[in-house]
Amino acid sequence: MAKRKALHVCSSCGHQESKWLGQCPACGEWNTLEEQLALQDGPGPLLHGLTAPRQSSLLSRIEAPTSARLSTGIGELDRALGGGLMEGSTVLIGGEPGIGKSTLLLQAAASVQRSTGQAGGPVLYVSGEESPAQIRQRADRLEVSGAHLHLLCTAHMEIIREELARLKPRLVIVDSVQTMIAPEAGAVPGTINQIKTVTHELAEWSRTRGSQVILVAHVTKEGQIAGPKVVEHLVDAVLLFEQSGSDLRFLRATKNRFGAIEEVGIFTMEHRGLEELTDPGRVFLGPDRTHPPAGVVAAPCYEGSRVLVVEIQALTVPAKGGVSRTFSDRIDNRRVSRVAAVLEKHLGVSFSDQDIYVNVAGGIRIQDVAIDLPLAVALFSARQGKELPRGVLATGELSLAGEVRPVSHRAQRIKAAEEMGFLRLVGPPGGSGQSGGSAQKAGQISWIEAPRIAQAIRQAFSSEP
């Protein structure tokens, strides 16, 4: 057994030194180094008694598991996870306080327990922030108190280890990882050293036992996961819960070892908890947006595996102080500035003396590259004060040379636009070799091909059907 030696660990950043220093050389904080015993070599307390391979194996001789994913019973959560929870996976979910992380996971835990029963093992919900009575009140409100969940309200890893060894649960939810205390990592919860120790131990236990672990994390003012940013490489998936100005909640994956990260789960907060928004419909459009005012254009955006028709809103006003600024929190500021520069270069529309405001109705954050052309149409409409004709929307990626580049999932975009009642979709050529400005009929909607930005703007504002 390796001899344990004393180390001095910074309670702020987790930096280790062999001797005490007044100032931490890593983060610069004063009087934060505390004496602790170094961790023992070998497996952590949760892994004692579990066998681990000590020799390498040929990849061709390793059998890959064929077990299906564990469904959480919540379709939008499964969508963000790529289809459900994989065996032996660890998931980190972050979000602002009060956004609904605990509510969502309590609903998911009850649904898993009801669907699987005790066949695959119990479900354990660990809370380091709330009392059992508080969680029971939430369960009564969500009408899930009848589920046979195992509840453990503690922040001490020694107690959690004992309960995991006794129950052998199939799913473990820890709310939140910042409150957990492992004695070997110090006495102060929430430090980077504590979070790394707890996350590593639970992730190794999950992989070894084949169970699923979900960790809840807080976020900073910038929307990044607080503290656990350094442990994202330890987990298999990272989900961020975002909130718009309305009751909409968006669950988006920023890392997923077992699926795509483009998927977005959409929820609404109701009195009975989070409800799935499986058919967004006109949530992102508003009433009769087939005839929008100046500065507004609709766009079919591909998010994950579905198309959402969203409303792009643009406003330009004279710059104050002679310095133009761009305000956009749902579309990247740099993309807005780039599209404005393309319009100024190839159409001669000046934005250098204008403040630009861009918004997406419903508050969803758009990452699809096909948002370039509708953003350009909205900026042109706002700058010129011209309204789009009825039933027109746009899609396409813009190059710096003013070209409208092809986009993926053309058929799905056309279908979504047609379902919303639109008549014309201005976009890039579809590879048919036809000249710019040609129209192709697809059902009740026409795809208007425009290879360059000037032609796209002209076709978008054309009154011809």
pLDDT band (50, 70, 90) for residue 25: confident
**Does position 14 have pLDDT exceeding 60, yes or no?**
yes
pLDDT of residue 34: 78
* Contacts (Cβ under 8 Å, ≥6 apart) of 423: 290, 390, 391, 392, 444, 445, 446, 465
Contact 416, 307 (CB under 8 A): yes
Tens-digit pLDDT profile for residues 345-369 = 999 999 999 999 999 988 888 989 9
pLDDT of residue 457: 96
SS3 276: strand
Give percent of the chain with pLDDT exceeding 70.
85
Q: Is 242 annotated as a binding residue?
A: no
pLDDT of residue 118: 63
The bridge status of strand 150-153 relative to strand 171-175 is unpaired
* Contacts (Cβ under 8 Å, ≥6 apart) of 444: 418, 423
**Does position 432 have pLDDT exceeding 70, yes or no?**
no
pLDDT band (50, 70, 90) for residue 431: very low
Mean pLDDT of 142-150: 88
Closest CA to 434 of 424, 414, 455, 449: 449
**Does position 117 have pLDDT exceeding 80, yes or no?**
no
pLDDT of residue 288: 63
The alpha carbon of 312 is separated from its chain's Cα centroid by a whole number of angstroms, namely 21
Q: Is 102 annotated as a binding residue?
A: yes
> Mean pLDDT highest for which of 63-72, 76-85, 256-265?
76-85
pLDDT of residue 403: 96
Both tokens of 330, joined, read 């749902």
Q: Cα–Cα distance between 432 and 239 in angstroms, integer?
A: 40
Paired with 315 in beta bridges are 357
**Does position 37 have pLDDT exceeding 80, yes or no?**
no
pLDDT of residue 195: 87
Contact 170, 120 (CB under 8 A): yes
**Does position 41 have pLDDT exceeding 50, yes or no?**
no
Both tokens of 80, joined, read 């963000």
Buried b (16+ CB within 10 A) or exposed e, 158-173: eebbebbeeeebbbbb
Contact 405, 399 (CB under 8 A): yes
Orientation of helix 192-209 relative to helix 157-167, angle to 10°: 10
pLDDT of residue 434: 39
Helix or strand (DSSP H, E) at 150: strand 150-153
Mean pLDDT of 307-312: 92
pLDDT of residue 97: 84
Closest CA to 285 of 166, 417, 181, 185: 417
Pick from 31-45, 188-202, 293-307, 381-395: least confident: 31-45
Q: Is 57 annotated as a binding residue?
A: no
Complete DSSP assignment for 100-111:
SHHHHHHHHHHH
Both tokens of 93, joined, read 């979910």
Q: Calculate the alpha carbon distances from 258 to 77, 91, 205, 274, 451 in Å.
A: 14, 11, 19, 25, 37
Write down the pTM of the prediction.
0.77
Contact 420, 326 (CB under 8 A): no
pLDDT of residue 49: 47
Orientation of helix 101-116 relative to helix 132-142, angle to 10°: 70
Contact 35, 24 (CB under 8 A): no
Residues in the chain: 465
Q: Is 227 annotated as a binding residue?
A: no
Give percent of the chain with pLDDT exceeding 90.
48
Tens-digit pLDDT profile for residues 256-304 = 998 888 788 999 888 888 999 877 766 787 666 667 899 999 999 988 7
Tens-digit pLDDT profile for residues 387-429 = 999 899 999 999 999 999 999 989 999 999 998 889 999 999 9
Q: Is 100 annotated as a binding residue?
A: yes
Q: Cα–Cα distance between 414 and 441 in angstroms, integer?
A: 10
Q: Is 322 annotated as a binding residue?
A: no
Complete DSSP assignment for 248-317:
EEEEEEEEETTS-S--EEEEEEETTEEEE-S--GGGGT-TTTTS--TTEEEEEEEETTEEEEEEEEEEEE
pLDDT of residue 430: 73
For residues 243 and 289, which has the higher predicted lDDT (pLDDT)?
A: 243
Torsion, CA 181, CA 184, CA 187, CA 191, rounded to 10: -70
Contact 294, 382 (CB under 8 A): yes
Q: Cα–Cα distance between 187 and 182 in angstroms, integer?
A: 8
Q: Calculate the alpha carbon distances from 225 to 195, 213, 242 in Å.
A: 12, 18, 12
Largest CA distance in the chain: 83
pLDDT band (50, 70, 90) for residue 1: very low
Q: Is 101 annotated as a binding residue?
A: yes
pLDDT of residue 242: 86
Pick from 45-49, 162-166, 237-241, 451-455: least confident: 45-49
The overall average pLDDT reported for the chain is 85
SS3 18: coil
**Does position 449 have pLDDT exceeding 50, yes or no?**
yes
Contact 71, 116 (CB under 8 A): no
pLDDT of residue 438: 59
Closest CA to 191 of 8, 5, 15: 15
Contact 269, 263 (CB under 8 A): no
Pick from 11-20, 125-134, 399-408: least confident: 11-20
Closest CA to 350 of 370, 328, 380: 380
Q: Is 265 annotated as a binding residue?
A: no
pLDDT of residue 260: 81
The three-point CA angle 392-359-357 to 5° equals 105
